[in-house]
Amino acid sequence: MADFNNDTRPDLAVSANGQVSVVLINATPGKPDNSDYFVHQHYLDFLAREPDLSGFDYWKLHIDQCGADPACLRERRSGLRRHS
């Protein structure tokens, strides 16, 4: 497990008997209440790019400052949702 594509998210690579290789890009655990997971799943900038480390840290801190306040979390997370 490592960040093979440099997008700040863990990726998973497996080799079985030296013959089969599988790479799962962005194999993050499904914890939607975790701000790390939430930012990785929902953040795209205006050019549809994944966050760089400073952008990721900014949005994670922005959400973490809410603590357990559900209204604050909803408001701050809604500003991060991916646009289609």
Q: Letter for the amino acid at 73?
A: L
Within 10 angstroms of residue 42's Cβ, the number of other Cβ atoms is: 15
9-36: pLDDT as tens digits = 677 777 777 766 766 666 555 677 888 8
What is the pTM (predicted TM-score) of this model?
0.54
> Which whole number is the average pLDDT over 75-79?
84
Mean pLDDT of all residues belonging to the chain: 76
Handedness of CA 15, 21, 22, 28 (dihedral sign): positive
* Structural domain spans, the chain: 12-78
Contact in structure between 2 and 13 (CB atoms under 8 Å) = yes
